Amino acid sequence: MSVTDLHPENSGSTYAESLARAEQLQADAEAKRIKNEGERRRQELLDQKAAARAQREIQRDLATAVDEQHQRDEARRAAAAAQARAAKSAATWRTAAKAIAIVCVVVSLPMQVMAFWDPHAWFLAAAPFVLEGVAWALLCGAQAAIDEGHPSWHYRLGALLQALTAAAINYAHGSAEYGMATGIGGALCSVVGPMIWDLHEHGRIVRREGHTPRSVRRAERRAARAEVHRLDAVNEARAARDAEVWERALDLAAAYGEVRPGRRSGLRRRKGSKVVPSEKTYTRACVEIHGAEPGSTADRIAHMRTAKRAVRVALNGPVDGPQQDAKPQVDSQTPAADGKATTARTKAPKTPHEDGRKRNGGTPPRRRPGTVKYHPAAKKQMALAAARQTD
């Protein structure tokens, strides 16, 4: 079978032409195959790069997850260690307080027994147990109240009064019988034991209720006072600069119930409260009066727009559009009034900047191979414009 039989439409061509066409088709097919092979290899490289990038991202995410887990484990171990130290400290403190209380009872109770001892009234020997025991019984009641979440201050106050009574008896008896030092020591033992245990229970109350340390509370109060002073200064400036907006803000604040109570002055609270608009209320007042957010008015916005326009003109030249004497590009590509088109060979008189181009006399640039041709609709429009100019 010959090339002519394969391509009957080209039966009029010579054998050499058919052979050349076949070689051209084979070369095109080979070029296409090479191109497809290159695209395939490039796509494989892209896929490999994407897979490597995904693998790196996965490894990075895994490393980040491992680091976060390690940090959580460290934080958990640190919290557990701190909790263990706190429990150990609490146990040590409880043991020490209990030991001090026992020693104080050993010293103060015999002194009170000696103070009340009378062979003819032997039953008075039970009085010291009552005096010392009442204080400790009240402290036990305070401990039960703390465990149950009830107020315990009255139990602790009663224990302190009872301890002071026992201390006065020990001081009087010890000073009279054994001297001043013995009297002071017995009195201190009657007070120190219950006081140490009461401090232990006070710590339990603080842990239960989560009281903030006094230094933190002082810092918070100072910050609150500073914030109040700042708000007062801001409100005074707003009232002085725009009285109309401020009056409207006060009306809205009164309607919304935005009232701030009087500040403390020493142990007394200043009488009365004052209406203080919030930021949201003041913003609404500005919008109602000026139609804009705080700090903006119609005059200010107009001035800003004028300034921006002046900056654009200074940077880029006039922004109002083309000059009055400028001609559209199509005028240089349509025939003149005498029917002769202005082309590259028959140039019009060289008038500088005739159609806005740079010193080309109004002649359009010569088309080069490969440029986009005019659309048929554009050609028709240019012909109509040329016809109107001729008429």
Residue 116 resides in a domain: yes
Q: Report whether 304 contacts 355 (CB < 8 A).
A: no
Q: What is the distance between the alpha carbons of residues 201 and 305, in angstroms, rounded to a whole number? A: 71
Last residue of a domain, one of 290, 314, 345: 290
Is residue 146 very low, low, confident or very high in pLDDT (cuts 50, 70, 90)?
confident
Please list the residues that pair with 259 across neighbouring strands: 275
pLDDT at residue 352 is higher than 80: no
Report residue 334: phi and psi, to 5°. -110, 155
Over residues 273-299, the pLDDT tens digits come to 688 898 999 999 999 999 988 988 898
115 and 211 belong to one structural domain: yes
Residue 380 resides in a domain: no
First to last CA, the chain: 66
pLDDT at residue 345 is higher than 60: no
pLDDT for res 363: 62
186 and 272 belong to one structural domain: no
Is residue 262 very low, low, confident or very high in pLDDT (cuts 50, 70, 90)?
low
Over residues 59-96, the pLDDT tens digits come to 898 988 888 988 999 989 988 888 888 888 888 888 88
208 and 241 belong to one structural domain: no
Residue 302 resides in a domain: no
The mean per-residue pLDDT over the stretch 303-317 comes to: 89
pLDDT for res 359: 58
Q: Report whether 138 contacts 159 (CB < 8 A).
A: yes
Task: HSE, CB side, 13 Å, CA atoms: give it for residue 230.
Answer: 6
Residue 132 resides in a domain: yes
pTM attached to this predicted model: 0.41
In 3D space, the residue among 193, 201, 220 whose CA is nearest the CA of residue 108 turns out to be 193
pLDDT for res 366: 66
Report residue 307: phi and psi, to 5°. -65, -40
Enter the DSSP assignment of 262. Answer: P
The mean per-residue pLDDT over the stretch 150-179 comes to: 85
The boundaries of the domain holding residue 41 are 3-85
Q: Containing H/E element for 261?
A: strand 259-261
Number of domains in the chain: 3
Q: Report whether 269 contacts 262 (CB < 8 A).
A: yes
Q: What is the distance between the alpha carbons of residues 111 and 133, in angstroms, rounded to a whole number? A: 14
182 and 206 belong to one structural domain: yes
pLDDT at residue 245 is higher than 70: yes
